[in-house]
Amino acid sequence: MSIKKELLDIMACPKCKGDIHLSEKEDGLICDACRLFYRIQDGIPVMLIDEATPLDK
């Protein structure tokens, strides 16, 4: 299940308040500025900074 574009357009990274985008596999949201991956679980984005996964540089 993918996130609707309308919802994605208004969502922001909870850490830097910057733009986020859907990952290629559509299994999470990515903030390029913070280099964080927020997973999507059961169709719901888990937008908790403590549960985000750092991306490799």
DSSP string across 25-37: TSSEEEETTTTEE
| pLDDT above 90 coverage of the chain, percent | 75
Q: What is the pTM for the complete model shown?
A: 0.89
Helix (H, G, I), strand (E, B) or coil at 21: strand
Give me the CATH topology for the region 5-54: N-terminal domain of TfIIb (2.20.25)
- Give the residues across from 56 on adjacent strands: none
pLDDT in tens, 27-37: 999 999 999 99
Of 4, 35, 41, 42, nearest to 20 by C-alpha is 35
Tokens of 34: 């913070």
Mean local confidence (pLDDT), 1-11: 83
Helix (H, G, I), strand (E, B) or coil at 19: coil
According to DSSP, the β-strands at 44-45 and 53-54 are unpaired
pLDDT at position 4? 83
Question: Over 80: is that where the pLDDT of 18 sits?
Answer: yes
pLDDT at position 1? 55
